[in-house]
Amino acid sequence: MSYINYSDTRGYYPSENLQNLFEKTVLTPFRESLPEEANEYERDINWEYKRRLREDVLERGSTDFDQNYRSEHAGNYTPEQKVLLYCATYMPMHLYSAYHFYSNHLRHLTEYRNIVFIDFGCGPLTSGIAFWAATAQGNITYIGVEKSEYMLNKAREILKHGPDGSSGPFFNKARSCMNYEDLSGLLDGIEKGNPSDTLILFNFSYVLASLTFQGEINALINVFLDIVEAILDSKIAMVYQNIRGNDENWKKLKESVMCSFPGINFIAQNDMKPMHVIYERLMERTVNSNLHVSCDYFCFQRS
């Protein structure tokens, strides 16, 4: 039975087990902690109210989730409440678009015997769930990179809950770090298997948007190039998706890899292209048919 369902009328929507995960880890605590906001989401008639939450409180997902939010006109929110608000607002969009990308365009990357999935800006494990659902294979080492401790706490909660709440976590081998400078040490400390049958996949989903990226892209590039150089004997994939029109940081990162390692062998490449995804919103249960995403990937190793 599929973990994520699809129909022509609803687009992507949750299975019973996925809906139960949403209920336990997002919807119930959201309703208990933010009853007014939950009511507005479920009524789904006050678009200006929801726009204010997205833009003022969440800053379109780029807010510092470890800080309180205080405003005379927008209200007060704790870090835990901001994480719940983010999950209710953005988690379905990111989950279903990632699943669509993995299952429809990256199937050939899911067939390796060993996969190390490195998730930049992992949020509440959204891409991790999508990749797990698309691959249906267990030998995955998951590493989540997330700067917010409160967001990482939510990711750990969801990881532990697992697919159905009783059969164990999504990934038996999972680690996390709050700073991409620590990633090299994490990679050194894990069992990666034989390079010939191991894929190391770097996932950049909704994290490099040029308008909201909180960081110095050149610093990230420098660290990333050092990491890639150390693992070139393995097959490496870089996977990207974001709202269309926010792709400059990804282009810089991709170009830097290509220019820094001119002798690498490109196993698979894809030019940037648009992707249209239809999905069911989490609390409103209405269909969003207007999600247009840029997606890109390439896979390479030492020649």
Q: What is residue 209's predicted lDDT score, i.e. its pLDDT?
A: 79
Among 5, 6, 13, 4, smallest CA distance to 286 is for: 13
Q: What is residue 273's predicted lDDT score, i.e. its pLDDT?
A: 82
Q: How far is Cα 92 from Cα 106, in angstroms, rounded to an integer?
A: 20
Pull the structure tokens for residue 177.
């770090």
Q: How far is Cα 101 from Cα 247, in angstroms, rounded to an integer?
A: 17
Q: How much of the chain is in helix, strand and coil states, percent to nearest 5?
A: 45, 25, 30
Contact 301, 233 (CB under 8 A): yes
Q: Which residue has the tokens 């490195």?
A: 118
Domain 93-302, what fold? Rossmann fold (3.40.50)
Q: Please, which residues bridge with residue 5 across strands?
A: 13
What is the DSSP code string of 98-157?
A: HHHHHHHH-GGGG--SEEEEEEET-TTTHHHHHHHHHH--S-EEEEEE-S-HHHHHHHHH
Residue ranges, the chain, pLDDT below 70: 1, 137-138, 210-212, 214, 268, 270
In 230-286 the beta strands, taken as DSSP E runs, fall at: 235-243, 264-269, 273-280
Contact 34, 49 (CB under 8 A): no
User: In the chain, where does the domain assigned CATH 3.40.50.150 lie?
Assistant: 93-302
Q: How far is Cα 157 from Cα 175, in angstroms, rounded to an integer?
A: 13
Contact 162, 202 (CB under 8 A): no
Q: What is residue 195's predicted lDDT score, i.e. its pLDDT?
A: 78
